[in-house]
Protein backbone atom coordinates (compact mmCIF):
# COMPACT_ATOMS: atom_id res chain seq x y z
CA UNK A 1 0.00 0.00 0.00
CA UNK A 2 1.44 3.39 -0.87
CA UNK A 3 2.36 5.80 1.90
CA UNK A 4 -0.13 8.46 0.86
CA UNK A 5 -3.15 6.21 1.20
CA UNK A 6 -5.12 6.49 4.43
CA UNK A 7 -8.02 4.11 5.07
CA UNK A 8 -10.55 4.74 7.82
CA UNK A 9 -10.48 1.96 10.44
CA UNK A 10 -13.94 0.79 9.35
CA UNK A 11 -13.03 0.60 5.66
CA UNK A 12 -9.72 -1.10 6.42
CA UNK A 13 -11.45 -3.73 8.55
CA UNK A 14 -14.19 -4.36 5.97
CA UNK A 15 -11.66 -4.81 3.16
CA UNK A 16 -9.54 -7.14 5.26
CA UNK A 17 -12.61 -9.30 5.97
CA UNK A 18 -13.76 -9.26 2.34
CA UNK A 19 -16.93 -7.38 3.22
CA UNK A 20 -18.68 -5.23 0.58
CA UNK A 21 -17.42 -1.65 0.35
CA UNK A 22 -18.72 1.14 -1.90
CA UNK A 23 -16.60 4.17 -2.90
CA UNK A 24 -18.17 7.64 -3.13
CA UNK A 25 -16.70 10.78 -4.71
CA UNK A 26 -16.26 14.19 -3.12
CA UNK A 27 -16.49 16.60 -6.08
CA UNK A 28 -20.21 15.92 -6.06
CA UNK A 29 -20.14 17.30 -2.49
CA UNK A 30 -17.90 20.35 -3.05
CA UNK A 31 -18.79 21.30 -6.62
CA UNK A 32 -21.93 19.34 -7.49
CA UNK A 33 -24.44 20.61 -4.93
CA UNK A 34 -24.90 23.69 -2.71
CA UNK A 35 -24.30 23.69 1.06
CA UNK A 36 -25.92 22.37 3.22
CA UNK A 37 -27.82 19.98 0.92
CA UNK A 38 -24.47 18.59 -0.26
CA UNK A 39 -23.49 17.48 3.25
CA UNK A 40 -26.97 16.19 4.09
CA UNK A 41 -26.99 14.18 0.86
CA UNK A 42 -23.49 12.79 1.36
CA UNK A 43 -24.43 11.54 4.82
CA UNK A 44 -27.75 10.13 3.58
CA UNK A 45 -25.93 8.30 0.77
CA UNK A 46 -23.58 6.73 3.31
CA UNK A 47 -26.56 5.63 5.42
CA UNK A 48 -28.29 4.16 2.36
CA UNK A 49 -25.20 2.09 1.62
CA UNK A 50 -25.15 0.79 5.19
CA UNK A 51 -28.88 0.01 5.06
CA UNK A 52 -28.21 -2.12 2.00
CA UNK A 53 -25.43 -4.16 3.54
CA UNK A 54 -22.19 -2.43 2.56
CA UNK A 55 -19.63 -0.07 4.08
CA UNK A 56 -19.39 3.42 2.50
CA UNK A 57 -15.98 4.91 1.70
CA UNK A 58 -16.24 8.58 0.82
CA UNK A 59 -13.00 9.44 -0.97
CA UNK A 60 -11.14 12.76 -0.88
CA UNK A 61 -7.66 14.23 -0.66
CA UNK A 62 -7.21 15.90 2.71
CA UNK A 63 -3.96 17.45 3.89
CA UNK A 64 -2.04 15.55 1.23
CA UNK A 65 -3.51 12.16 2.18
CA UNK A 66 -5.57 9.98 -0.12
CA UNK A 67 -8.53 9.24 2.13
CA UNK A 68 -10.75 6.22 1.62
CA UNK A 69 -13.42 6.65 4.26
CA UNK A 70 -14.11 10.20 5.47
CA UNK A 71 -15.53 11.08 8.88
CA UNK A 72 -18.77 13.13 9.08
CA UNK A 73 -16.55 16.07 10.15
CA UNK A 74 -14.44 15.70 7.02
CA UNK A 75 -17.59 15.56 4.88
CA UNK A 76 -18.85 18.73 6.57
CA UNK A 77 -15.47 20.37 5.89
CA UNK A 78 -15.57 19.48 2.17
CA UNK A 79 -19.17 20.60 1.84
CA UNK A 80 -18.70 23.91 3.62
CA UNK A 81 -15.56 24.82 1.67
CA UNK A 82 -17.36 23.96 -1.56
CA UNK A 83 -15.76 25.39 -4.69
CA UNK A 84 -12.82 26.70 -2.60
CA UNK A 85 -11.48 23.14 -2.57
CA UNK A 86 -9.47 22.17 -5.62
CA UNK A 87 -11.42 19.96 -8.00
CA UNK A 88 -8.84 17.23 -8.34
CA UNK A 89 -8.47 15.10 -11.43
CA UNK A 90 -5.59 12.71 -12.26
CA UNK A 91 -3.26 15.54 -13.36
CA UNK A 92 -3.72 17.37 -10.03
CA UNK A 93 -2.64 14.54 -7.74
CA UNK A 94 1.16 14.86 -7.73
CA UNK A 95 1.35 18.55 -6.80
CA UNK A 96 -1.53 18.45 -4.29
CA UNK A 97 0.04 15.48 -2.52
CA UNK A 98 3.56 16.92 -2.53
CA UNK A 99 2.22 20.17 -1.06
CA UNK A 100 0.03 18.43 1.52
CA UNK A 101 -3.12 20.12 0.20
CA UNK A 102 -6.80 19.22 -0.14
CA UNK A 103 -8.62 18.06 -3.23
CA UNK A 104 -12.18 17.01 -3.99
CA UNK A 105 -12.03 13.83 -6.02
CA UNK A 106 -13.85 13.56 -9.35
CA UNK A 107 -14.94 10.24 -10.84
CA UNK A 108 -11.38 9.89 -12.16
CA UNK A 109 -9.52 10.36 -8.89
CA UNK A 110 -12.12 8.47 -6.88
CA UNK A 111 -11.55 5.48 -9.19
CA UNK A 112 -7.78 5.79 -8.81
CA UNK A 113 -7.90 5.90 -5.02
CA UNK A 114 -10.58 3.19 -4.79
CA UNK A 115 -8.39 0.90 -6.90
CA UNK A 116 -5.35 1.63 -4.70
CA UNK A 117 -7.42 0.68 -1.65
CA UNK A 118 -8.93 -2.43 -3.26
CA UNK A 119 -12.49 -1.11 -3.57
CA UNK A 120 -14.25 -2.33 -6.71
CA UNK A 121 -17.64 -0.60 -6.72
CA UNK A 122 -18.28 3.15 -6.84
CA UNK A 123 -21.60 5.00 -6.79
CA UNK A 124 -22.13 8.55 -8.00
CA UNK A 125 -24.60 10.79 -9.85
CA UNK A 126 -23.21 11.57 -13.28
CA UNK A 127 -19.87 11.13 -15.02
CA UNK A 128 -17.95 13.54 -17.19
CA UNK A 129 -17.83 12.84 -20.92
CA UNK A 130 -17.38 14.39 -24.35
CA UNK A 131 -18.73 17.93 -24.23
CA UNK A 132 -20.92 19.37 -26.93
CA UNK A 133 -18.63 21.12 -29.39
CA UNK A 134 -15.67 18.94 -28.40
CA UNK A 135 -14.74 18.64 -32.08
CA UNK A 136 -13.31 22.16 -31.71
CA UNK A 137 -12.73 22.61 -27.95
CA UNK A 138 -11.35 19.07 -27.36
CA UNK A 139 -13.10 19.15 -23.99
CA UNK A 140 -13.30 15.48 -23.13
CA UNK A 141 -13.44 14.46 -19.47
CA UNK A 142 -10.55 12.51 -18.00
CA UNK A 143 -13.28 10.27 -16.52
CA UNK A 144 -13.49 8.42 -19.84
CA UNK A 145 -9.76 7.63 -19.92
CA UNK A 146 -9.95 6.45 -16.33
CA UNK A 147 -12.81 4.09 -17.14
CA UNK A 148 -10.54 2.70 -19.85
CA UNK A 149 -7.69 1.86 -17.49
CA UNK A 150 -8.77 1.48 -13.87
CA UNK A 151 -10.66 -1.61 -12.65
CA UNK A 152 -13.62 -0.06 -10.84
CA UNK A 153 -17.32 -0.38 -11.63
CA UNK A 154 -18.95 3.06 -11.73
CA UNK A 155 -22.69 3.15 -11.09
CA UNK A 156 -24.25 6.40 -12.28
CA UNK A 157 -27.54 7.71 -13.67
CA UNK A 158 -26.17 8.10 -17.18
CA UNK A 159 -24.75 11.36 -18.45
CA UNK A 160 -26.32 14.80 -18.50
CA UNK A 161 -27.09 16.31 -21.84
CA UNK A 162 -24.67 19.12 -21.02
CA UNK A 163 -22.55 16.49 -22.81
CA UNK A 164 -22.75 15.10 -26.31
CA UNK A 165 -24.15 11.68 -25.37
CA UNK A 166 -23.58 10.14 -28.79
CA UNK A 167 -19.91 11.12 -28.87
CA UNK A 168 -19.47 10.01 -25.26
CA UNK A 169 -20.72 6.53 -26.20
CA UNK A 170 -18.44 6.42 -29.24
CA UNK A 171 -15.46 7.33 -27.09
CA UNK A 172 -16.30 4.61 -24.55
CA UNK A 173 -16.66 2.08 -27.35
CA UNK A 174 -13.21 2.98 -28.72
CA UNK A 175 -11.72 2.62 -25.25
CA UNK A 176 -13.36 -0.76 -24.66
CA UNK A 177 -15.53 0.29 -21.74
CA UNK A 178 -18.74 -1.76 -21.40
CA UNK A 179 -21.80 0.48 -20.95
CA UNK A 180 -24.52 -1.41 -19.11
CA UNK A 181 -28.14 -0.31 -18.70
CA UNK A 182 -29.65 -1.45 -15.43
CA UNK A 183 -33.08 -2.74 -16.33
CA UNK A 184 -33.03 -0.78 -19.57
CA UNK A 185 -31.73 -0.91 -23.12
CA UNK A 186 -31.65 2.87 -23.35
CA UNK A 187 -28.96 5.13 -21.94
CA UNK A 188 -30.58 7.23 -19.20
CA UNK A 189 -29.84 10.97 -19.31
CA UNK A 190 -29.45 11.71 -15.59
CA UNK A 191 -32.59 13.85 -14.90
CA UNK A 192 -34.61 11.84 -17.38
CA UNK A 193 -34.89 8.11 -18.07
CA UNK A 194 -34.57 8.52 -21.83
CA UNK A 195 -31.87 9.74 -24.21
CA UNK A 196 -32.68 7.97 -27.45
CA UNK A 197 -29.26 6.21 -27.34
CA UNK A 198 -28.77 2.50 -26.75
CA UNK A 199 -26.49 0.96 -24.14
CA UNK A 200 -24.29 -2.04 -24.98
CA UNK A 201 -26.06 -4.51 -22.69
CA UNK A 202 -29.07 -4.61 -20.43
CA UNK A 203 -28.59 -6.40 -17.10
CA UNK A 204 -31.39 -6.76 -14.57
CA UNK A 205 -29.99 -7.79 -11.18
CA UNK A 206 -27.06 -6.90 -8.90
CA UNK A 207 -25.93 -10.53 -9.32
CA UNK A 208 -25.71 -10.12 -13.10
CA UNK A 209 -23.70 -6.92 -12.68
CA UNK A 210 -21.35 -8.63 -10.24
CA UNK A 211 -20.90 -11.64 -12.54
CA UNK A 212 -20.00 -9.47 -15.53
CA UNK A 213 -17.51 -7.46 -13.51
CA UNK A 214 -15.99 -10.61 -11.99
CA UNK A 215 -15.52 -12.05 -15.49
CA UNK A 216 -13.70 -8.88 -16.52
CA UNK A 217 -11.42 -9.13 -13.49
CA UNK A 218 -10.81 -12.87 -14.02
CA UNK A 219 -9.77 -12.28 -17.62
CA UNK A 220 -7.35 -9.58 -16.55
CA UNK A 221 -8.97 -7.04 -18.88
CA UNK A 222 -7.91 -3.59 -17.78
CA UNK A 223 -10.38 -0.82 -17.17
CA UNK A 224 -13.71 -0.41 -15.50
CA UNK A 225 -17.35 -0.82 -16.36
CA UNK A 226 -20.04 1.83 -16.58
CA UNK A 227 -23.45 0.96 -15.15
CA UNK A 228 -26.20 3.44 -15.97
CA UNK A 229 -29.17 3.27 -13.63
CA UNK A 230 -32.25 5.29 -14.64
CA UNK A 231 -33.66 7.81 -12.16
CA UNK A 232 -36.90 6.45 -10.59
CA UNK A 233 -39.87 7.61 -12.67
CA UNK A 234 -41.48 9.63 -9.86
CA UNK A 235 -38.35 11.82 -9.49
CA UNK A 236 -37.53 12.30 -13.17
CA UNK A 237 -37.93 15.73 -14.78
CA UNK A 238 -39.89 16.71 -17.89
CA UNK A 239 -37.43 16.47 -20.80
CA UNK A 240 -38.39 19.84 -22.32
CA UNK A 241 -37.88 21.72 -19.04
CA UNK A 242 -34.45 20.27 -18.38
CA UNK A 243 -33.26 20.48 -21.99
CA UNK A 244 -34.22 24.13 -22.24
CA UNK A 245 -32.28 24.89 -19.05
CA UNK A 246 -29.25 22.98 -20.33
CA UNK A 247 -29.26 24.82 -23.67
CA UNK A 248 -29.48 28.13 -21.85
CA UNK A 249 -26.65 27.17 -19.48
CA UNK A 250 -24.40 26.23 -22.42
CA UNK A 251 -25.16 29.54 -24.16
CA UNK A 252 -24.28 31.43 -20.98
CA UNK A 253 -21.01 29.50 -20.53
CA UNK A 254 -19.99 30.39 -24.11
CA UNK A 255 -20.84 34.05 -23.52
CA UNK A 256 -18.72 34.12 -20.37
CA UNK A 257 -15.87 32.19 -21.99
CA UNK A 258 -15.96 29.43 -19.37
CA UNK A 259 -13.56 26.61 -20.19
CA UNK A 260 -11.39 23.83 -18.78
CA UNK A 261 -12.23 22.33 -15.41
CA UNK A 262 -14.70 25.16 -14.65
CA UNK A 263 -17.08 24.10 -17.42
CA UNK A 264 -18.84 21.22 -15.69
CA UNK A 265 -19.34 22.93 -12.28
CA UNK A 266 -20.53 26.09 -14.08
CA UNK A 267 -23.11 24.21 -16.14
CA UNK A 268 -24.33 22.21 -13.14
CA UNK A 269 -24.82 25.35 -11.04
CA UNK A 270 -26.52 27.22 -13.90
CA UNK A 271 -28.96 24.40 -14.61
CA UNK A 272 -29.83 24.29 -10.93
CA UNK A 273 -30.40 28.04 -10.87
CA UNK A 274 -32.62 27.91 -13.96
CA UNK A 275 -34.79 25.04 -12.74
CA UNK A 276 -35.17 26.22 -9.17
CA UNK A 277 -34.85 23.44 -6.63
CA UNK A 278 -36.41 20.80 -8.89
CA UNK A 279 -33.21 19.57 -10.46
CA UNK A 280 -31.47 19.41 -7.08
CA UNK A 281 -34.26 17.26 -5.66
CA UNK A 282 -33.97 14.90 -8.65
CA UNK A 283 -30.20 14.86 -8.34
CA UNK A 284 -30.39 13.80 -4.69
CA UNK A 285 -32.87 11.01 -5.43
CA UNK A 286 -30.88 9.53 -8.29
CA UNK A 287 -27.72 9.42 -6.18
CA UNK A 288 -29.58 7.56 -3.43
CA UNK A 289 -30.93 5.16 -6.05
CA UNK A 290 -27.39 4.49 -7.32
CA UNK A 291 -26.11 4.00 -3.77
CA UNK A 292 -28.71 1.26 -3.19
CA UNK A 293 -27.76 -0.57 -6.36
CA UNK A 294 -24.03 -0.20 -5.65
CA UNK A 295 -24.37 -1.64 -2.14
CA UNK A 296 -26.32 -4.64 -3.44
CA UNK A 297 -23.82 -5.19 -6.25
CA UNK A 298 -20.88 -4.96 -3.85
CA UNK A 299 -22.61 -7.52 -1.64
CA UNK A 300 -23.16 -9.83 -4.63
CA UNK A 301 -19.51 -9.42 -5.66
CA UNK A 302 -18.30 -10.23 -2.15
CA UNK A 303 -20.07 -13.63 -2.21
N1 LIG B 1 -21.57 15.42 -13.55
C2 LIG B 1 -22.56 15.57 -12.65
N3 LIG B 1 -22.26 15.89 -11.37
C4 LIG B 1 -20.96 16.04 -10.95
C5 LIG B 1 -19.92 15.86 -11.92
C6 LIG B 1 -20.28 15.55 -13.19
O7 LIG B 1 -23.72 15.42 -13.00
O8 LIG B 1 -20.73 16.33 -9.78
C9 LIG B 1 -18.49 15.98 -11.48
C10 LIG B 1 -17.90 14.58 -11.22
O11 LIG B 1 -16.97 14.66 -10.17
C12 LIG B 1 -17.18 14.27 -12.53
C13 LIG B 1 -16.66 15.66 -12.88
O14 LIG B 1 -16.13 13.34 -12.41
O15 LIG B 1 -17.70 16.54 -12.53
C16 LIG B 1 -16.31 15.79 -14.34
O17 LIG B 1 -15.68 17.00 -14.56
P18 LIG B 1 -15.00 17.31 -15.98
O19 LIG B 1 -16.15 17.36 -16.95
O20 LIG B 1 -14.31 18.61 -15.80
O21 LIG B 1 -14.09 16.17 -16.25
MN1 LIG C 1 -13.25 19.09 -19.23
Distances (CA, A) of 173 to 193, 199, 289: 21, 10, 26
Q: Ligand 1, closest atom to CA 260?
A: 20
Q: Can you give the pLDDT at residue 132?
A: 95
Mean pLDDT of the chain: 97
160 labelled catalytic: yes
According to DSSP, residue 275 is labeled T
Q: Can you give the pLDDT at residue 1?
A: 67
Q: Count each helix (H run) and each strand (E run) in the chain, helices first.
A: 13, 11
Domain ranges of the chain: 5-302
In sequence order, what DSSP letters do the residues of 125-149 get, joined into one string?
S----BBTTHHHH--B-HHHHHHHH
Q: Can you give the pLDDT at residue 277?
A: 82
Q: Can you give the pLDDT at residue 45?
A: 98
In sequence order, what DSSP letters do the residues of 9-36 get, joined into one string?
HHHHHHHHTT--EEEE-SHHHHTSS-TT
Backbone phi, psi, residue 5, to 5°: -80, 135
Catalytic one of 67, 87, 120, 160: 160
Tens of pLDDT along 19-76? 999 999 999 999 999 999 999 999 999 999 999 999 999 999 999 999 999 999 999 9
Tens of pLDDT along 290-299? 999 999 999 9
Q: Can you give the pLDDT at residue 283?
A: 95
Q: Can you give the pLDDT at residue 156?
A: 98
Pair 195, 169: CB distance under 8 Å: no
CB neighbours of 141 closer than 8 A, spacing ≥ 6?
107, 108, 127, 128, 129, 130, 131, 264
Q: Can you give the pLDDT at residue 276?
A: 85
What is the distance in A from the centroid of ligand 2 to the CA of 103? 17
Nearest partner of 11 among 50, 57, 46, 44, judged by Cα: 57
What is the architecture of the domain spanning 5-302? 3-Layer(aba) Sandwich (3.40)
Ligand nearest to the CA of 127: 1
Q: Ligand 1, closest atom to CA 142?
A: 21
Residue 10 has pLDDT above 70, yes or no: yes
Tens of pLDDT along 69-100? 999 999 999 999 999 999 999 999 999 999 99
- Classified as helix, coil or strand, 51 is helix
What is the distance in A from the centroid of ligand 1 to the CA of 106? 6
Residue nearest ligand 1's atom 17 by CA: 128
25 labelled catalytic: yes
Cα 151 from Cα 44, distance rounded (Å): 26
Percent of the chain with pLDDT over 90: 98
Ligand nearest to the CA of 134: 2
What is the distance in A from the centroid of ligand 1 to the CA of 71? 23
Residue 127 has pLDDT above 70, yes or no: yes
Pair 87, 133: CB distance under 8 Å: no
At 270, is the pLDDT very low, low, confident or very high (cuts 50, 70, 90)?
very high
Nearest partner of 76 among 110, 20, 37, judged by Cα: 37
Tens of pLDDT along 60-70? 999 999 999 99
Cα 122 from Cα 238, distance rounded (Å): 28
Tens of pLDDT along 147-174? 999 999 999 999 988 999 999 999 999 9
Amino acid sequence: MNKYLSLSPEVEQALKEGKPVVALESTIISHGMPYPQNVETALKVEQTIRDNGAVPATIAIIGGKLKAGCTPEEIEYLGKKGQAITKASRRDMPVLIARGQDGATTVTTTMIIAAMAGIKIFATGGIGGVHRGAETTMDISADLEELAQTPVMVICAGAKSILDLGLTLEYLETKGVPVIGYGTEELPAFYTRHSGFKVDYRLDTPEELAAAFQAKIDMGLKGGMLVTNPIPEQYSMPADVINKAIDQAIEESKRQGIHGKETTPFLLAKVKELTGGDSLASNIQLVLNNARLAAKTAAALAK
